[in-house]
């Protein structure tokens, strides 16, 4: 998973056509291997970005809702911080996270985990009842642990085409049980999640090797380079060749949510920039 927050400047995220401009004290979330794009809209933009696997938070709950619900919701339905007070709290947490990650004092990982949960709790409070009930994530806390063997299998072998039957067996489920529980827990079916994992593996290989695309397609279990080209362009908004030729700034494809080619981002219109720049000063006056 990926959670990031803006400390200063302005940041834009794009999730499959949905563009969101974030100001200081605002947060973004990406599910595992979720294709996304980004760019710093203003100079001197600073951020704190956390990438972590589900085991880092385990079975933590907010009331009766798993923390996974925040990531499993479609991007447009994920919670946003709507008050100046909440954004000030996020900035304080962000500064503490930056210190812990930079200086790494004793028990820094525990402090990072604690602050990550604080951030998610703040976001959870922003959700209205209708949105919470609409998210297809179970309220029971034991579902994640039951599918972890399958997630671990995909994480360790992202280029290998793991079948539903094999994944179900690793979790001691029948195929039908596994399909239902996986979809309820992760907010998408296993085939969709598996494709994201394979494309994430492809992104990593494109940025860290000179291996030809047709060879990478074979490594990742695609029928041929044309099949990979179609799937990659659909999810990443650019071809494998474009991704390799113009790599993301600072990206190596190793994260659980590989960055999208920055050139594929929609540039904010001038009026959008004026509106988003005006917002922080209004909040300071409040």
pLDDT by 10s per residue, the chain, length 286: 899 999 999 998 887 667 889 999 999 998 877 777 788 888 889 999 998 888 888 878 888 778 888 887 778 888 888 789 999 999 999 999 999 999 999 999 999 999 999 999 999 988 876 666 665 544 444 677 788 888 888 877 766 778 899 999 999 999 999 998 888 777 778 888 888 888 888 888 888 888 999 999 988 888 888 999 998 888 777 888 888 887 654 344 433 333 333 333 333 333 333 333 333 333 322 2
Alpha-carbon distance of 216 to 211, in angstroms, equals 7
**What is the pLDDT at residue 261?**
32
Q: Phi and psi dihedrals of 65, rounded to 5?
A: -115, 130
143-251: CATH topology: Arc Repressor Mutant, subunit A (1.10.10)
Domain positions in the chain are 2-53+80-126+264-285, 143-251
Beta-bridged to residue 6, according to DSSP, are: 47
The H-or-E segment that residue 46 falls in is strand 46-51
pLDDT number for residue 1: 84
Contacts of 247 (CB under 8 A, 6+ apart): 207, 261
Strand order in the sheet with 2-8: 27-30, 2-8, 46-51
pLDDT reported for residue 17: 67
pLDDT on residue 242 = 85
pTM for the complete prediction?
Answer: 0.66
The structure tokens 């029971």 sit at: 140
Judged by DSSP in three states, 148 sits in helix
Give me the sheet containing 18-22, strands edge to edge.
18-22, 11-15, 37-40
């Amino acid at each position: 998973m990926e959670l990031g927050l803006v400390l200063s400047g302005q940041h834009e995220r794009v999730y499959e056509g949905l563009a969101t401009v974030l100001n200081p004290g605002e947060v973004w979330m990406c599910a595992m291997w979720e294709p996304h794009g980004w760019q710093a809209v203003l100079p001197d933009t600073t951020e704190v970005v956390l990438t972590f696997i589900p085991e880092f938070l385990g079975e933590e709950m907010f009331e009766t809702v798993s923390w996974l619900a925040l990531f499993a919701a479609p991007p447009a339905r994920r919670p946003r911080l709507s008050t100046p007070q909440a954004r000030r709290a996020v900035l304080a947490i962000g500064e503490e996270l930056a210190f812990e990650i930079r200086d790494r004092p004793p028990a820094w990982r525990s402090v990072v985990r604690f602050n990550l949960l604080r951030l998610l709790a703040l976001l959870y409070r922003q959700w209205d009842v209708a949105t919470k009930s609409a998210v297809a994530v179970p309220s029971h806390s034991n579902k994640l642990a039951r599918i972890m063997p399958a997630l671990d299998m995909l994480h360790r072998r992202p280029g290998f085409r793991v079948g539903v039957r094999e994944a179900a067996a690793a979790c001691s489920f029948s195929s039908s049980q596994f399909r239902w529980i996986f979809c309820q827990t992760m907010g998408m079916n296993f085939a969709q999640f598996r494709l994201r994992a394979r494309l994430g593996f492809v992104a990593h290989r494109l940025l860290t090797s000179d291996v030809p695309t047709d060879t990478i397609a074979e490594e990742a279990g695609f029928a041929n380079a044309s099949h990979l080209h179609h799937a990659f362009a659909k999810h990443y908004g650019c071809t494998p060749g474009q991704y390799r030729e113009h790599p993301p700034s600072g990206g190596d494809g190793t994260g659980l949510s590989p960055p999208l080619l920055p050139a594929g981002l929609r540039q904010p219109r001038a009026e959008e920039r004026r509106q988003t720049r005006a917002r922080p000063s209004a909040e300071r006056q409040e």
